């Protein structure tokens, strides 16, 4: 049995037995933390921001971890037991050590003082989310979060010019909000197909609200991510029950999205290809950034120092300013998660970052490929969750190409969720070596 299945087994034997009588309160605390981190109700309702809900969720989870039984504490204190845990620790250590000797150590240290909350959330998530019942609660939370943000963004559009780009609160700008919604959309789509009754209605309502909110962001990166997700669903075996049903649902979703799309959305897409448009400007920015990365190719300039390093390179004449820009000497963000990582962490740090990403993506793909040759998931649940998360991750990675979201809470939540699914899958394979997992089994598995 692998180390990851051992972690799942250890925790499930102690805590998950209580799941049959109702989920432990610590599970609800981490789900609440997911809602605060992704759904951002404090941005939608500014009056509750003074409550510091994120700090409440973190403190509550910490208190429950302290008072939890020995097995859960051991799991939390054993981050090296999983591949993603080892890579996460290595990435944090790399950022800390080489940020301290980078071009602006104070910026790196200030970033790390804030990043510890995301890292702590990740390790707590991996320790607590150890069963299918717990995974499904997180998935419902993501569906609700995207639906809530989409609805809030849609309500803002009332009485506002249709050409204006919209977002909610101060955490997400329109592009960031588009990224979040695209990441969560596959979950609502899959649950809409898989469930019946009020669950189908709820998932469908959140999906429509999410699509409307996404259209109002007019984010080109999010649209590209959504397009890649659609192609992924159509062309690959992703667990949808029935090819015709899959195509019909995708077509209906596409028609709805087109219907709510602002009239100038496609004009923005075409504008990206204009010689003086933002798209060409970003290409020149990325070329300059790659030149900047070659100054410190192995270790980078230090985490969270891109803007400073780019600005100083402009002042020193190391890179050529974009004369077509209205502010050619402005100190800019990279507008790409991968360019940011390359400049700040160098080739070695980028390798760690991509390894963390790869372990997550290929782990999910392996679950779906193994079910064909080694059937072990009788209800199809784990295969379903793996497909949802893989497509959500795919949308995130494509959209993040055009956004500086390298170290966001959503990214590490996806890594943690992928790791949790993989651990539960390893445990289930050990327990049910002769079970069957087929698309037909999955079709009716949630119709209750």
What pLDDT does 273 receive? 63
Q: What is the DSSP letter of 166?
A: -
| Residue 433: band (very low, low, confident or very high) from pLDDT cuts 50, 70, 90 | low
* Count of other CB atoms within 10 angstroms of residue 106: 14
> What's the rounded mean pLDDT across residues 421-426?
91
The tokens describing 22, both together, are 């109702």
- Do residues 89 and 377 lie in contact, with contact meaning Cβ atoms separated by under 8 Å? no
Long-range contacts of 104-111 (CB under 8 A, 24+ apart): 104/301, 104/302, 104/305, 104/308, 104/309, 105/302, 107/302, 107/304, 107/305, 107/308, 108/302, 108/303, 108/304, 108/305, 110/304, 111/303, 111/304, 111/407
Q: Is the pLDDT of residue 439 over 50?
A: no
Q: Out of 99-108, 383-392, 424-433, pick the least confident.
A: 424-433
What pLDDT does 172 receive? 87
Go through 171-188 and write b for each residue having 16 or more CB atoms within 10 A of its CB, e for each that does not: ebbbbbbbbbbbbbbbbb
- Do residues 84 and 418 lie in contact, with contact meaning Cβ atoms separated by under 8 Å? yes
pLDDT in tens, 329-348: 677 889 899 999 999 999 99
> What's the rounded mean pLDDT across residues 67-80?
85
What pLDDT does 9 receive? 46
* Count of other CB atoms within 10 angstroms of residue 332: 20
> What's the rounded mean pLDDT across residues 122-135?
94
Q: Is the pLDDT of residue 206 over 80?
A: yes
| Residue 351: band (very low, low, confident or very high) from pLDDT cuts 50, 70, 90 | very high
Find where tokens 């789900």 sit: 31
């Amino acid at each position: 049995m692998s180390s990851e299945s051992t972690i799942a087994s250890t925790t499930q034997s102690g805590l998950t037995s209580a799941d049959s009588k109702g989920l432990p309160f610590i599970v609800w605390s981490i789900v609440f933390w997911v809602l605060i981190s992704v759904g951002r109700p404090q941005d939608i309702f500014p009056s509750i921001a003074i409550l510091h809900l994120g700090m409440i969720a973190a403190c509550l989870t910490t208190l429950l971890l302290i008072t939890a039984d020995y097995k859960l504490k051991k799991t939390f204190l054993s981050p090296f037991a999983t591949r993603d845990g080892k890579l996460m620790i290595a990435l944090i250590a790399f950022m800390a050590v080489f940020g301290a000797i980078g071009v602006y150590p104070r910026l790196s240290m200030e970033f790390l003082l804030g990043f510890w909350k995301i890292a702590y959330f990740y390790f707590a998530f991996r320790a607590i989310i150890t069963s299918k019942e717990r995974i499904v609660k997180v998935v419902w939370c993501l569906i609700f979060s995207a639906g809530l943000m989409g609805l809030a963004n849609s309500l803002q559009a009332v009485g506002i010019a249709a050409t204006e780009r919209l977002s909610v609160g101060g955490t997400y700008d329109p592009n960031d909000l588009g990224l979040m919604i695209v990441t969560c959309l596959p979950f609502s789509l899959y649950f809409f197909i898989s469930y019946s009754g009020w669950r189908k209605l709820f998932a469908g309502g959140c999906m429509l609200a999410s699509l409307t909110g996404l259209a109002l962001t007019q984010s080109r990166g999010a649209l590209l991510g959504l397009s890649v997700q659609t192609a992924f669903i159509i062309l690959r075996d992703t667990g949808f029950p029935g090819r015709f049903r899959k195509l019909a649902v995708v077509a209906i979703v596409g028609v709805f999205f087109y219907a709510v799309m602002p009239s100038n959305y496609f004009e923005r897409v075409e504008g990206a290809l204009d010689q003086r448009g933002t798209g060409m400007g970003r290409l020149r920015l990325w070329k300059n950034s790659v030149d900047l990365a070659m100054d410190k190719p192995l270790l980078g300039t230090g985490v969270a120092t891109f803007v400073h390093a780019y600005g100083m390179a402009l002042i020193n004449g190391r890179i050529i300013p974009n004369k077509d820009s209205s502010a050619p000497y402005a100190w800019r963000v990279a507008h790409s998660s991968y360019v940011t990582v390359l400049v700040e962490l160098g080739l070695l740090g980028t390798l760690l970052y991509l390894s963390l990403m790869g372990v997550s993506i290929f782990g999910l793909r392996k679950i779906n490929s193994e079910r064909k040759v080694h059937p072990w998931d009788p209800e199809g649940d784990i295969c379903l969750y793996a497909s949802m998360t893989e497509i959500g991750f795919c949308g995130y990675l494509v959209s993040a190409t055009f956004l500086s979201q390298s170290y966001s809470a959503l990214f590490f939540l996806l890594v943690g969720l992928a790791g949790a699914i993989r651990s539960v899958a390893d445990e289930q394979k050990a327990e049910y070596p002769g079970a069957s997992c087929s698309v037909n089994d999955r079709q009716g598995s949630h119709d209750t």
